[in-house]
């Protein structure tokens, strides 16, 4: 495992955390759920093992939100300022989708893939050569082998 760690925090600073390794993969999701939940054009999610998020301070509320798929989705927010720090999908407690915008240096984790581009806002242009899909994608074809192994480990 790499020794590099990546710091982040909520808007008020009560929640401080560090990612203790690089994530498995980074999604830029342009789906309508993500647009509505963020109030913005897309969400940036770094997929990482829950036990690789070292939370140094603060308390989180886990807020269940409705989804098109009906699968559970909880958003973890600072109890003070309600900044969304990460999500849990499908009740998989060992996996977190960390909001890249809460990192001290969000540019450090560029998206590996753009998904649900069918609802991408028309004035958002994607860089040439980036992986992009109208809906979801086949992670077995896109993820590096070590990331697939990490995901297998958290799903068992």
Which pair of structure tokens corresponds to residue 77?
């927010």
> Among residues 105, 27, 34, which one has the least CA distance to residue 68?
34
Give the shortest CB-120-to-Zn ion separation in angstroms. Answer: 11
Count CB-CB contacts under 10 A for residue 73. Answer: 19
Helical (H) or strand (E) element with 43: strand 43-49
Dihedral Cα 154, 27, 73, 119, nearest 10 deg: -150
Give the shortest CB-4-to-Zn ion separation in angstroms. Answer: 25
Name which of 21 and 132 has its Cβ closer to Zn ion. Answer: 132
Which pair of structure tokens corresponds to residue 70?
């009906």
- The rounded distance, in Å, linking the Cα atoms of 9 and 18 is 8
Residues in contact with Zn ion by the rule CB under 5 A: 10, 12, 14, 29, 31, 34, 78, 80-81
Give the shortest CB-128-to-Zn ion separation in angstroms. Answer: 23
Which pair of structure tokens corresponds to residue 3?
């020794």
Name which of 54 and 81 has its Cβ closer to Zn ion. Answer: 81
Name which of 11 and 149 has its Cβ closer to Zn ion. Answer: 11
Give the shortest CB-32-to-Zn ion separation in angstroms. Answer: 8
Name which of 67 and 147 has its Cβ closer to Zn ion. Answer: 67
């Amino acid at each position: 495992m790499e020794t590099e760690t990546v710091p982040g925090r909520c808007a008020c600073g009560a929640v401080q955390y560090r990612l203790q390794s690089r994530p498995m993969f980074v999604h830029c999701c342009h789906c309508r759920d993500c647009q509505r939940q963020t109030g913005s054009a897309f969400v940036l999610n770094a997929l990482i093992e829950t036990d690789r998020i070292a939370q140094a301070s603060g308390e989180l509320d886990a807020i269940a939100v409705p989804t098109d798929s009906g699968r559970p989705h909880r958003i973890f927010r600072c109890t003070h300022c309600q900044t969304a720090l990460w999500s849990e999908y499908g009740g998989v407690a060992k996996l977190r989708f960390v909001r890249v915008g809460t990192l001290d240096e969000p540019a450090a984790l560029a998206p590996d893939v753009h998904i649900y581009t069918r609802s991408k806002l028309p004035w958002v242009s994607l860089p040439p050569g980036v992986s992009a899909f109208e809906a979801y994608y086949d992670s077995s074809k896109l993820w590096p082998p070590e990331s697939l192994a990490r995901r297998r480990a958290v799903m068992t």
